[in-house]
């Protein structure tokens, strides 16, 4: 599932990623492609429209970090908005009760009974005492199905008495589960092929008897746009605290299921990715976004840049460099900032594909050389006095010798550092160019 969406988005961003400059038209074109990809994947059209609107506002309203390309920044915005679309942070079941209670509901065949077994399996493994309650009294095989699963995962089960109604069964099970023997009780309710008044009435009465803390809708991700209606109807009828999306291992387009959080405001708790008991996974919006976007490298690069680079600090540094006022103290803090951003190969990899015409081997060589050099420079600057750091031009030969001795390096190394630093002064010209680009971006982003 989501392969097509993923391919379409990656194609769009492959183009965008390489742009050094973005125009409003670039962004609009790319976002149109994103919108089409979402619709193609069966994402609800209103959800897709709002999604694009939000990303566009971000693209036009926020400043682009200096250390990333605008294309990378747009990818980050799309990623962030996808995470929001899927619910933001991960939500877990509320297991605070004694016992914690979970009511599973949904249409026929959505995967309620299978999910009940999977949840029991998961919590049994975590050492919890789990009670399953078979509440699907209409399908003869349903109770037997849950019984077998209970046997497999090793937990107890309550089955309906002959003639007992669903709410009566619920009331009995709720009482029975209250004796302190269980940590978690899971009610596997019966479904319908479609929601009807009878089902809604029954669920309401059942809910009144059992008062479950977790009211969870089990949704088959393959049913398309209907999933949005189903989710809304169940939410209205009994209220929902969360959802489980099943059959994400299938080849349906699945976009509708990705819209249910946006439509209902209810978190997706888990996803079913197969028929086996261990094929149930907690749902993490950020992981899903990065899986679909397939741009994890760019996203984490931009995040790191955001975390590490204090924007004001970076601007100040640029100004100093442009005016040739930078001293070795500044150089040292730049080296330290770079080090915080992780291995240089990662940074090189995160740069737009065509910016560096290097293959993996060359990149590795460059990265290694730079890392060795950075470590060397760092140690040299650290063995300088404050005065020397401020006045690199006045470090004479005897001072250089002392510094080299202090950090266990050669005189040539100290010379190399000072030469490199001198060259940086000449980079002022280049920075002027960068500033121009920055001004251009600001004009574009504040339009």
Ligand X SMILES: Nc1nc2c(ncn2[C@@H]2O[C@H](COP(=O)(O)OP(=O)(O)O)[C@@H](O)[C@H]2O)c(=O)[nH]1
Instruction: Kindly state whether residue 210 participates in binding Mg ion, applying the rule CB under 5 A.
Output: no
Q: Does 352 bind ligand X (CB under 6 A)?
A: no
Q: Is 122 in the site for ligand X (CB under 6 A)?
A: no
Taking the complex as a whole, the smallest distance from the CB of residue 120 to Mg ion amounts, in Å, to 14
**Of residues 193 and 443, the one with the C-beta less far from ligand X:** 193
- 219 touches 106 (CB < 8 A): yes
Q: Does 113 bind ligand X (CB under 6 A)?
A: yes
156-158, strands of its sheet edge to edge: 156-158, 130-135, 184-189, 100-105, 214-220, 242-246, 268-272, 280-282
Nearer to Mg ion, 135 or 348 (CB): 135
Q: Does 272 bind ligand X (CB under 6 A)?
A: yes
Q: Does residue 246 interact with ligand X by CB under 6 A?
A: yes
To Mg ion, the closest distance from the beta carbon of 187 in angstroms equals: 11
Site for ligand X in 371-390 (CB under 6 A): none
CB closer to ligand X, 68 vs 132: 132
Positive or negative, the CA dihedral 19, 23, 29, 35 is: positive
Among the listed residues 8, 273, 337, 341, the single contact to ligand X using CB under 6 A: 273
- Long-range (24+ apart) CB contacts under 8 A made by 305-313 are 305/65, 305/67, 305/68, 305/341, 306/65, 308/337, 308/340, 308/341, 309/65, 309/66, 309/67, 309/337, 311/63, 311/65, 311/66
Of 54, 58, 108, 172, which one interacts with ligand X (CB under 6 A)?
A: 108
Structure tokens at 425: 């002064």
113 contributes a contact to Mg ion by CB under 5 A: yes
Stretch that binds ligand X, among 75-83, 103-111, 291-299, 396-404 (CB under 6 A): 103-111
Q: Are 293 and 262 in contact (CB under 8 A)?
A: no
Closer Cβ to Mg ion, 142 or 248, answer by number = 142
DSSP code, position 63: P
- Mention every residue, 6+ apart, whose C-beta is less than 8 A from residue 159: 134, 143, 147
- Choices 102-110, 127-135, 315-323, 354-362; region in contact with ligand X by CB under 6 A: 102-110
Between 79 and 115, name the residue whose CB sits nearer to ligand X.
Answer: 115
Window contacting ligand X (CB under 6 A); options: 246-254, 385-393, 413-421, 424-432: 246-254
Q: Is 191 an interacting residue with respect to ligand X (CB under 6 A)?
A: yes
| Spatial distance between the Cα atoms of 13 and 293, rounded to a whole number of angstroms | 9
Cα–Cα distance measured from residue 358 to residue 137, given in angstroms and rounded to the nearest whole number: 66
**189 touches ligand X by CB under 6 A:** no
Contact 210, 103 (CB under 8 A): yes
For residue 116, which of 100, 93, 99, 134 has the smallest C-alpha distance?
134
Residue ranges that bind Mg ion, judged by CB under 5 A:
112-113, 136, 142
Residue ranges that bind ligand X, judged by CB under 6 A:
106, 108-114, 191, 218, 246-247, 249-250, 272-275
């Amino acid at each position: 599932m989501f392969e097509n969406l993923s391919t379409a988005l990656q194609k769009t961003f492959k183009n965008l990623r390489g742009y050094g400059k973005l125009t409003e038209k670039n962004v609009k074109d790319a976002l149109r492609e994103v919108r089409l990809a979402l619709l193609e994947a069966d994402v609800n059209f209103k959800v897709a429209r709002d999604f694009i609107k939000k990303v566009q506002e971000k693209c036009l309203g926020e400043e682009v970090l200096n250390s990333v390309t605008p294309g990378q920044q747009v990818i980050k915005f799309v990623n962030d908005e996808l995470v929001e679309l899927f619910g933001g942070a991960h939500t877990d079941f509320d297991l605070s009760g004694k016992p914690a209670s979970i009511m599973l509901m949904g249409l026929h065949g959505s995967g309620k009974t299978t999910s009940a077994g999977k949840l029991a399996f998961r919590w049994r493994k975590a050492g919890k005492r789990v009670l399953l309650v078979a509440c699907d009294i209409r399908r003869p095989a349903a109770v037997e199905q849950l019984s077998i699963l209970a046997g497999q995962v090793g937990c107890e089960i309550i089955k309906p008495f002959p003639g007992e109604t669903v709410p009566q069964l619920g009331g009995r099970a709720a009482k029975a589960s209250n004796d302190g023997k269980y940590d978690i009780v899971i009610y596997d309710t019966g479904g319908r092929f479609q929601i009807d008044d009878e089902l809604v009435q029954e669920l309401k009465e059942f809910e009144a008897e059992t008062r479950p803390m977790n009211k969870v809708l089990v949704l088959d991700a393959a049913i398309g746009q209907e999933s949005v209606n189903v989710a809304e109807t169940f939410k209205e009828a009994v209220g929902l605290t969360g959802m489980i999306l099943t059959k994400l291992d299938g080849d349906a387009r699945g976009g509708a299921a990705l819209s249910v959080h946006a439509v209902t405001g209810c978190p997706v708790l888990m996803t079913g990715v197969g028929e086996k008991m261990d094929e149930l996974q907690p749902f993490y919006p950020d992981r899903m976004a990065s899986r679909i976007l397939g741009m994890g490298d760019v996203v984490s690069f931009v995040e790191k840049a955001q975390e590490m680079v204090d924007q004001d600090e970076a601007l100040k540094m640029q100004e100093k460099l442009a005016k040739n006022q930078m001293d070795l103290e500044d150089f040292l803090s730049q080296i330290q900032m770079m080090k915080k951003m992780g291995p240089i190969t990662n940074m090189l990899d995160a740069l737009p594909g065509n910016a560096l015409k290097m293959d993996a081997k060359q990149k590795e060589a460059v990265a290694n050389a730079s890392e060795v050099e950075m470590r060397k420079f760092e140690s040299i600057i650290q063995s300088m006095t404050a005065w020397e750091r401020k006045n690199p031009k006045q470090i004479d030969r005897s001072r250089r010798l002392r510094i080299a001795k202090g950090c266990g390096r050669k005189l040539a190394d100290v010379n190399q550092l000072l030469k490199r630093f001198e060259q940086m002064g000449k980079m002022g010209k280049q920075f002027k160019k960068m500033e121009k680009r920055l001004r251009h971006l600001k004009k574009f982003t504040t339009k």
